[in-house]
């Protein structure tokens, strides 16, 4: 299944773009300031650090670099994920859009409020803000002459067997991930970009997201009550990142893509009313972890590695448990690991009175087919699938970083294509 792009007539829709953008920004105001699915981050590496499960986060995250910020950056408390359709009429308009996005991102990450909106005595408040830009497969159609320059593995996210994808919540020409310590910073960014890119962008879907407080310590919990994101690849290891994350020359990608990576976004709804009727012991066997401590069922601490070799028949940790399917911890499955940077969402109630909450799954990797899709196929029809439903998201390619003051998002792609 491929969720269709928004209809044709980009030029005719330009007048509606800013109004829709501002409605998108207003929705983000409901984000709670307070992290992603059952503790197994499809990885085996360094555990989260600190009492609250987060590594040290600088007040100001550098904007310039070989890679974009917001990927290996320790998670901020609040996030906004938005998929956009591009309304630029031609290549020049697309260049203008990317340059504007770069300029405003550079200004905003330096202090959230631009100088013309602050009194002279007010200090900058960077709020650990990061703005991360990705491109979708649809940007590489025939509108801008980019069809021959698409990243090798970039395509519309397919529907997997347990998905119920809603077309209005899927895909996009661009993805924007905005993360900060407070929700008003995310709203401010969206308002600023709506003003500066008027007529060039139209929001397609968005998700407001947050991290739960760490209770009592260690990894944070998702809205099913289990600790999540306990382990991930070692982001401090250049060798590990070049093997699992960043696009490097051996990957065979276009030259302009070097230093980028693939982003998989999944909007996953939790059926909490049904889940809350499941006895605790059954919940723990579905996940493969103790709910209170986060430890695997054969361990005592959340950072303990499950010992599958001494439990070959799944008597302690079931063979179909989430953590065992997601990461079997074998040499053969090691290359399917990827970095997870997921958040919770809560959208209130649906029209039937059900609670609309769940997970904004965010995964970064070098090859979504080798990594995310391979893991997803292992998880098909797992016991947990009866309590969760993926409803949206998309595959995107995170552009290489902006190198310096003279560079801009997508410069190598748009100048050489």
SS (H, E, C) 187-215: HHHHHHHHHHCCCCEEEEEEEEEECCCCC
How distant is the alpha carbon of residue 175 from its chain centre?
A: 9
Closest CA to 3 of 143, 217, 164: 164
Distance set, CA 31 to CA 4, 93, 329 (Å): 28, 32, 35
Report how far residue 106's alpha carbon sits from residue 405's, in angstroms, rounded to the nearest whole number.
Answer: 9
229 CB neighbour count, 10 Å cutoff: 27
How distant is the alpha carbon of residue 172 from its chain centre?
A: 14
Who's near 353: CB < 8 A, 6+ residues apart? none
Percent of the chain with pLDDT over 70: 84
Report how far residue 410's alpha carbon sits from residue 130's, in angstroms, rounded to the nearest whole number.
Answer: 17
Structure tokens at 396: 């995107």
Report how far residue 255's alpha carbon sits from residue 253's, in angstroms, rounded to the nearest whole number.
Answer: 6
Who's near 250: CB < 8 A, 6+ residues apart? none
Closest CA to 161 of 324, 389, 394, 372: 389
Report how far residue 87's alpha carbon sits from residue 77's, in angstroms, rounded to the nearest whole number.
Answer: 31
Per run of 10 residues, the mean pLDDT along the chain (length 417 residues) is: 44 55 53 46 45 71 98 97 98 98 96 58 84 98 96 98 97 98 95 95 97 88 93 94 97 98 98 98 98 96 96 98 96 96 97 96 98 97 98 98 98 90
359 forms beta bridges with: 268, 344
Report how far residue 49's alpha carbon sits from residue 218's, in angstroms, rounded to the nearest whole number.
Answer: 7
pLDDT of residue 123: 76
pLDDT of residue 54: 57
pLDDT of residue 46: 41
Asked whether the whole model's pTM tops 0.85, one would answer: yes
pLDDT of residue 8: 46
pLDDT of residue 214: 86
What is the four-CA torsion angle of 311, 315, 318, 323, rounded to 10 degrees? Answer: -40
370-378 own/partner pairs: CB under 8 Å, 24+ apart = 370/335, 370/336, 371/42, 371/244, 371/335, 371/336, 371/337, 371/338, 372/264, 372/338, 373/158, 374/333, 374/336, 375/42, 375/326, 375/327, 375/336, 375/338, 376/160, 377/160, 378/325, 378/326, 378/328
């Amino acid at each position: 299944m491929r969720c269709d792009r928004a209809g044709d007539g980009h030029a005719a829709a330009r007048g509606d773009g800013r109004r829709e953008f501002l409605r998108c920004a207003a929705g983000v105001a409901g984000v709670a300031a307070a992290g992603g699915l059952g503790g197994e981050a499809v990885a085996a590496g360094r555990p989260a650090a600190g009492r609250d499960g987060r590594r040290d986060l600088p007040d100001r995250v550098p904007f310039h670099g070989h890679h974009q910020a917001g990927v290996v950056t320790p998670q901020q408390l609040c996030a906004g994920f938005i998929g956009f359709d591009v309304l630029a009429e031609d290549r020049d308009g697309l260049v203008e859009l990317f340059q504007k996005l770069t300029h405003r991102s550079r200004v905003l990450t330096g202090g959230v409020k631009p100088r013309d909106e602050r009194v002279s005595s007010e200090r900058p408040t960077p709020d650990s803000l990061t703005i991360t830009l990705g491109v979708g497969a649809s940007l590489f159609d025939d509108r801008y002459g980019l069809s021959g320059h698409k990243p090798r593995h970039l395509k519309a996210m397919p529907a997997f067997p347990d998905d119920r994808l809603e077309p209005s919540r899927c895909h996009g020409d661009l993805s924007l991930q905005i993360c900060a310590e407070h929700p008003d910073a995310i709203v401010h960014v969206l308002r600023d970009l709506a003003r500066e890119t008027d007529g060039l962008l139209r929001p397609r879907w968005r998700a407001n997201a947050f991290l739960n407080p760490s209770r009592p310590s260690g990894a944070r919990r998702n809205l099913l009550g289990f600790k999540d994101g306990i382990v991930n690849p070692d982001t401090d290891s250049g060798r590990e990142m070049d093997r699992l994350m960043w696009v490097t020359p051996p990957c065979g990608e276009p030259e302009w893509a070097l230093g980028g990576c693939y982003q998989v976004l999944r909007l996953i709804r939790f059926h909490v009313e049904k889940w809350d009727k499941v006895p605790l012991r059954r919940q723990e066997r579905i996940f493969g972890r103790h709910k209170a401590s986060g430890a695997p069922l054969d361990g005592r601490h959340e950072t303990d590695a499950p010992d599958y070799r001494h439990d070959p028949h799944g008597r302690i940790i079931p063979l179909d448990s989430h953590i065992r399917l997601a990461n079997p911890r074998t040499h053969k499955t090691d290359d399917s690991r990827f970095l997870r940077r997921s958040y919770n969402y809560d959208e209130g109630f649906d029209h039937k009175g059900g609670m609309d909450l769940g997970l904004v799954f965010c995964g970064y990797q070098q090859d979504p087919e080798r990594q995310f899709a391979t893991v997803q196929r292992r998880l098909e029809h797992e016991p947990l699938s009866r309590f969760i439903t993926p409803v949206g998201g998309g595959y995107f390619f995170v552009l290489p970083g902006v190198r310096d003051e003279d560079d801009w998002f997508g410069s190598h792609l748009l100048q050489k294509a």
